[in-house]
Chains A and B, each alone.
Chain A
Amino acid sequence: MSTLLGRIDVILRSRQAVQERPSASALLWTVGCIAFFGFLYGAVMGAFGGIGGERLWQVLYSAVKVPLLLLGTSLIAWPSFLVLNTLAGLRDDFARATAALLAAQAGLVIVLASLAPLTIVWYASSGSYPDALRFNGAMFAIAALAGQWLLRDHYRLLVERDSRHRWMFWTWLALFIFVAIQMAWVMRPFIGDPSAPTEFFRRDKWGNAYLVVARLIYHAVVR
Chain B
Amino acid sequence: MKRWWKELDRLLRGEATQGSVLGAGDFRIPVGGLLLMALTLAALYGVCMGFFAGFRDGGPVFLQWLAGTLKVPALFFLTLVVTFPSLYVFNALVGSRLSFAAVFQLLVAALAVNVAVLASLGPIVAFFSVSTTSYPFILLLNVLVFITAGVFGFTFMLRILRGLWGARGQMASTSPIRELEKPESQGGNELTLNAMAEETTAVSLANRGPIIDRRVKNVFVCWMVVAGLVCAQMSWVLRPILGKPTEAFHWFSPRESNFFEAVWDAFRTLLS
A-to-B contact residues, CB < 8 Å: 75-77, 79-80, 82-84, 86-87, 89, 91, 175, 178-179, 182-183, 185-186, 206-208, 210-211, 214-215, 218
Contact = CB atoms under 8 A, between A and B. Distances in A.
Interface of B: 9, 12-14, 113, 116-117, 119-124, 127-128, 131-134, 137, 152, 156, 270-271
Determine which residue in A76, A91, A185 has the highest number of CB atoms from chain B within 10 A of its CB, and name it.
A76
Contacts of A208: 128, 131-134, 137
B127 A179 contact: yes
B120 A215 contact: no
B271 A80 contact: no
B71 to A, nearest CB: 22
A214 B13 CA distance: 38
A83 B156 CA distance: 13
Contacts of A182: 127-128, 131-132
Nearest to A217: B271
Contact of A86 (B12, B122, B132): B12
8 contacts: A77-B123, A79-B123, A83-B120, A86-B12, A175-B124, A182-B128, A206-B132, A207-B132
B120 A218 contact: no
Contact of B14 (A84, A89, A207): A89
The 6 closest A-B pairs by CB, nearest first: A83-B120, A80-B120, A86-B12, A208-B132, A186-B131, A218-B271
A178 B133 CA distance: 18
B131 A214 contact: no
A175 B14 CA distance: 23
Given A76-B123, A179-B124, A214-B270, A84 B117 contact: yes
A83 B113 CA distance: 9
Given A79-B120, A83-B117, A214 B134 contact: no
B196 to A, nearest CB: 43
B13 A211 contact: no
A82 B120 contact: yes
A87 B123 contact: no
Given A83-B12, A214-B270, 10 more contacts: A75-B123, A76-B123, A76-B124, A77-B124, A80-B121, A87-B117, A89-B14, A208-B134, A211-B134, A211-B270
Nearest to B113: A87
A186 B128 CA distance: 10
A173 B119 CA distance: 20
Nearest to A77: B124
A135 B131 CA distance: 26
Given A80-B121, A80-B124, A87 B12 contact: yes
Contact of A206 (B117, B121, B133): B133
